[in-house]
Amino acid sequence: MVLRFRRTMKIAPGVRLNLTKKGISARIGPRGAGITTGTSGTTVSAGIPGTGLHASKKIKSATKQRNARITATREPRTGKTGGLGFLGWIGAVFWTVLLVWGLRKLFG
């Protein structure tokens, strides 16, 4: 028997937070389209609501991100810093805004 756990919370219009056994992920976008970032990487998806037609593409997996960081630390002579990239910055900004929002909601 397989037990699955998933809890989705609507944070703001177009922003959802998903909690599962594996970890936390966030989805940004309207119904039928969006970007999801979480423990397994970043995925872009789009679909037509109510039809069952849906397409998704993983644009960055968590293992590739980890391997890129290891490579960047092993090859400092190339001059590459191995930064976050555009989607990494979106995720970082999102989690920061989410943290500030949660703290204001909790203490404010």
Inside any domain, residue 23: yes
Does residue 31 contact residue 49 with C-beta atoms inside 8 Å?
yes
Domain range for residue 39?
6-107
Inside any domain, residue 66: yes
Inside any domain, residue 1: no
- Count up the domains in the chain and report the number: 1
pLDDT tens sequence across 26-59: 999 888 888 888 888 888 889 888 888 889 888 8
Cα torsion angle, 96, 98, 101, 104, sign: negative
Global pTM value: 0.51
Residue 14, pLDDT score? 87
What is the gyration radius of the CA atoms in the chain, in angstroms? 17
DSSP-derived letter for residue 77 is: G
